Every structure is written in C-alpha cells, then in structure tokens.
Structure 1
Amino acid sequence: MSNSKIRVVQVVGQMNGGGVESTIMSHFRFIDRDRFHFDFVANVDSTHIPYDEIAELGGTVHTVHPYRSFSRYNQDCVRLFEELRPTIVHANVNALSVFPLHAAKQAHVPIRIAHSHSTASPKEVSKTVVKDLLRPCSRMFPTHLAACGELSARWLFGNTAVNNGRVKLIRNAVDLERFSDDEGLRRRIREELGVGDAFVIGQIGRLCYQKNQEFSLRVFAELLKIHTNAVLVLVGGGSEREQLEQEARSLGVFDKVKFLGIRKDVPALYNAFDVMVFPSHYEGLPVSLIEAQACGCPSLVSDVVTKEVQIVPGMIESLPLNAGAAMWAKALLSLGLRTRDARSAGGRFLKNAGYDIRDSSKDLGDWYETLIHDIAK
C-alpha cells in the first residue's frame, strides 16, 4: 500500500451476504482508491466474505473472534489497529460498534466513526436487550456519527444528536447503471427460473426473524386462493431456511416456492419480479428497496420500514403486519398488476435523492478528507 493513501478500516462484523455489506462494498467499488485504502475487519464465523473482489480492488480482509468472546475480540482489534495504524476506523455494526471503537480508542486511532444501519424489535427479546444496554454507550468512543437514514440515526444516537446536525447521512446508494428496468433481461431470467407467465412475488434478504419470510409464506398461501398462477421467490441465505421449507410444505405451497440462496445476479431478479414483498419486523433503510425502485419493481412493505425509503412515486406501499395475510395478498396482487409502463423513471428520482453510488462514494471520500483536515488544525 502506498504511504500516501488514507487508510480506512471498515468494521463489518459477521459478513453473510446482507444489505449492510452490500452498501459498504458498493462504496468501495466507486470510491477513489488512489486516495483511500480499505481494510475490512470481519468476524471469523462469517459465511460470505468476498475475498477475491476485495483483493482485486486493492483492499485487505482481516478476521477476528466474534463479539461473544469479548476479551479475545478486543485483543484482536487492538492488536490489528496498532499494526495497521489507520487514520479512520469506520464501524458498521450498529449498537455493537461500541466494541471495535473502544479498541480503536485504545489503539489511539484519531477518527472513529459509529454508523447506524438498523433499529430493533421488542419481539427479538435477547437481541433487543443487548442493543438497549449498549445504546447509551453509542456516543462514548466515536469521534463522529453516521447513519443510513434519520430513523436509524435517532434510534441509536438520540434526537439531540440528530437535531444538532451531528449525524452524517450516508445513503444506501446503488449503481443506478446496473439496477434499471430491462424488459429483455426480465424475459431471459423468467425463462431461466422456469416461471413462464406466472405472477412472481420476490423477497430478497437474509432468511431470519427480522426479514419475516414466515409471514411471506402465509401471504403467498392466501394469494394462491385468488390467483393460482403465482410463484414466490426467496433470495438469500440464513439460519431459517430449513424451518421455512418445512413451513412451505405445511402450508401446501412448497412446489411453488423457489429458494435461490445467495445470488450475484440480483438486478436481473428484480426485473423478473412482478412485485416484492417486504414484511420486516424492524429495519433501518433497506438497500434492497432502493435497488427495487431503480429496477422498476414495486414493493409492499411493513409499516415499520421508514418512509424515507419511498422515493419513486407509486413504487412502495405499506401495510401493518396485523392487517393479516389475506389483506397483504390482495394488496400485493393489486400493486403487482399495475402496468410496467409506469416503472421506468426510477433512476432519475433516485439520483436526485442522493442514491447514485458514484455521487455517494465521492461524498464519502470528501467527508473522510474533511474529518482529517479538521483534526490536523
């Protein structure tokens, strides 16, 4: 690495092919890599670290013990930060950022950024208890605060920090040239998936409680009662796959559900969907909903999803989960049957709202340099 480059450590926690990693990698692809060197710090129990791409782009990957082995995690991080001597440690692990930033402070890293990407759910009791215990500590060790949206910022850092302008908004931007409405791509992928002229409902995200695929299966079972020629496509890996497959069998819909696992052709899949279902229990500002809008794919989301994500007019509608599976099924069908002629203007709206990755990456690099200039005064 050239000594003239600014060294930035991106702490990403457990890399499992989720939206947060996707956003960080997108910024890495488009940031000025002549100015910045990125080191990625991931937990050793990660299942989906893109070693080859990170190396190809000039970055490096370091693995550390998981948080549950706190003393070993802290030792790993302190040793790593002292060895790398970065100018910036950018922690992307929400309330857990307190751990790597504590280590960064011990290692005398001058710029320590806590980045909030999510919120919490009271139904995820053990996780939420931990998050609530850590939230008051969220401002102890960072020198600067960042978030993907206002809801995530207020949840982790509090209203005062947001109202005083202390939180930098870093959009979950996407490559708008890669994510766009493409009728030819739609036909090809639908043929590959073997869905013919079926009504295709998609969901992209980790198979876990937060993303609530169990509810999606119940909604799909109701939808089949009113529209028999339909398919549900679930994209993503996760610990609940076996449980969800069993649920699909018990609902009698397994033969019409496609579990695709983690995919690299996500833009093509959005084009193949007629509508996306997004019944999350809690969220920050989901990158998949930005991507879907760029591809002209309408989405039905739960009402816990921040309204900040509704950028392209008519592309996102929300319902509370307690409206029930039958109501969700009717709303999905109505939303998805809208003419595709209205789905091609997403890129313009998203660029104007700051979601073009080229613009966002430049803004991130400029912010880093401003922080460095400020501490040099």
Structure 2
Amino acid sequence: MPGNQVVIYGHSGSGKSTLLENILYRTYDKQVNTNCMKDMTFEEVILDAFDQLQEFYVGEVTNNKKTKVDVKAKADYLAIQAQIGAVYENAVGQKQVRMLPPQLTPQNLGRLLGQSGYCWVLEDFHKIEGEEKEKLAQMMKVFVNLSLKHKDLKIVALGAVNTARQVVKSDKEMRKRVSEIHVDLMEPDEIKQIIIKGSEVLNIIIDDGLQDDIVRYSNGLASICHKICYLMCSSAFVTETLDEPVEFNTEDLQKALSEYVKDEEDTLRDAFDSALKIEKIESTLRVLVAQECNGAHIEDLYQHAKDHNIRVSKKKLKEDLENLEKEEFGELVKLEDNSQKYSFIDPFYRSFAMAYFEEKDSQTKRGRLNDKELIELLNTAMRVVKENYNFE
C-alpha cells in the first residue's frame, strides 16, 4: 500500500532475506542496510543510515529512482556530515563517541532518503530493545507522512516472528500504517524444489528417498536444506557444474549431517542454555520432546502432561511455548500456522533435548543444577548427539 512502511517477519532461516532481496532487486537499484544489534541505540541506527547515503550525496552514484542529485539536498547532507565530524563526546577512558547533531532529525533523514531513491532495510529489528524500539516505530510514522511527498521513501523492518506485533505495540497509530508480510515455513514440496533445481544446475543425482530424508531434516527451513546439500557437495568436492553426473547416497547424507552437527554445536548449546533460563521450563520441554517430529496441538501436549504426571498448567505450557519461539530464549520452537502444531524448530534440537533429559535422568542428583553441572550436562548431551550422527 502506498505510504505504508513494511515489516517482514518469520523464523530464522525461513528465507526472509532472500525474499526481500528478490523483491528489492526488481524495485530499487540501491538500498541502505542497517544490521540491528542488541544494545544498539536509536541514534546509532540513524547515524548508520546517514553514513551509507554518502555514496549518493558525495560519490553522486545515481540509480533507477534518482538520475541526478538534488543540489539543496546535497548541501544539507554535507552540512550535517560536517556537524557529525565536529561533535564528539569524551567518554570514560577518553573514548571518542559520535553524537547525533540536532540537524539530523528523523524528518531530515527521511527527506534525504526520499531524495536519494534508496530503500532502508532494518535487519534483525527485533534485537532493538525497549525505548529505542519505540523511537524507531515513531520514526516509521514520520516516514509515512513524508512519503506523501517522497513516494519512494520506504523502511523495511526484517525480523523474527513477533516483529510486526512489536512495531504496533510500540506505537498504536502504526496499526494501519504498516504492511505485514509473514514468511511461512516452506512446505515439503517447496524444499524438494530447492534440491531438484540445485541438482539440475550442478548435474548431480539425489534420488527421491534421499530427497525425502533431507526434507525431513530441513523441517521447513530453507537454510538447513541449503546447508546440508552444500556439505554433501563439499565432501564430494563438487564446486561447479559437472561434466559427468555424480549420484549421492545415504552415506553422503550421513557425513553431511555429522558435519552439520559439528558446525552448529555452539548454536545448539547456546540455544538450550537460553531456553533453560525460563523459570521451570523443563516440564514443557519434556512434554514437547515426547511428541513426534511434526509436533502436537496445545491440547494434546497438555493431555500428555496429565497422562504422564508432568506438573505444568495449560496456561504455563502455552506461555513457555510462546517464549521458546523467541530468539532471546533460543528460538527452539515453531508454531505451524496451518496445523497449529508446536514442534522443535529443527530435528537436531529435538535430538539434543532427548539426549539432555536422558543424561539428566540417569544421574542420581535431583533438583536444580548449578552452573558448572549445567555446562557439564549440556556438553554430555552434545557428545551423545554427535555419536548419534556418527561424528568422529
């Protein structure tokens, strides 16, 4: 919708960035990309975008939206740039900190972006916290108003599952001013198409049975499919289109899975470490790990808890699962929109959870683990997962 700002959200690895790149490639020649990070301030976000406009206003590199540089806009840019160079704050230890000059307001940044024809992409928007996020939501509202004059002015916020909700929550007036695009997890046939197209390009053969196995491990995430297929090819020294076709087998997949576990070891461990920070989360994880790979509905999960004397209320179960979808708590879990089933985000996380509880239950000690015991248990669980995938 004209004037609306855009929020694209979905699980990590679901293909948000790829989707956005394909859309922007057809619409904008140039874009400003800001990689949002934890503890990043509103001022730092503004400065990052402003700095990247130097290519247009100083280098005078034009694009399909703007074939010439507006003289007044360039003068404004250079004046603000000079102010940034002059305004520093001495922090502890004489560290030089760049300060936002009074002239670099959201309105002025919006005008400069609008005059440049650049689109502004805020990647990992969900990592911006609290008051800083509220300021960014208010800035989006400013951009909506400015877009009446600058039709190409657009912010695209790219983030995790709850990003759109966070923007609206930060500023209620944004409810009708944000276009939300949810990137769903891929269907099995869509994951298969990745494998089929890649096989055709490289002149390799991955039979239907092997494709099904890769699809199962991918669990709807394009990033896992790409990684597994890449590792299979890398192990076979396939780096370009082959003159003669090569056929892969189960052993090749097993090697790739082993390598995948090795590469993702720190991610797996850190994710569970984050998840275990949720108060009394183990009951919910025990219920979920007992389900099939494709997960279960909340009612079935609660019924399993009652049947197996796992002490957790339905309300607590739902709250835990919603928290486990968030990056701050490891993003272990996904909710499938169509089936409304909760499951682990990928089968490797489920394997790790199973190993964790098997090891914990085999120990004589009961009750809360101290930090050292928790680290030892996570390391042991990781070793079990490696053994399960034949990693040497």
TM-score by length of 1: 0.33
Higher helix fraction (1 or 2): 2
More strand by share: 1
Point out the structure with max Rg over C-alpha: 2
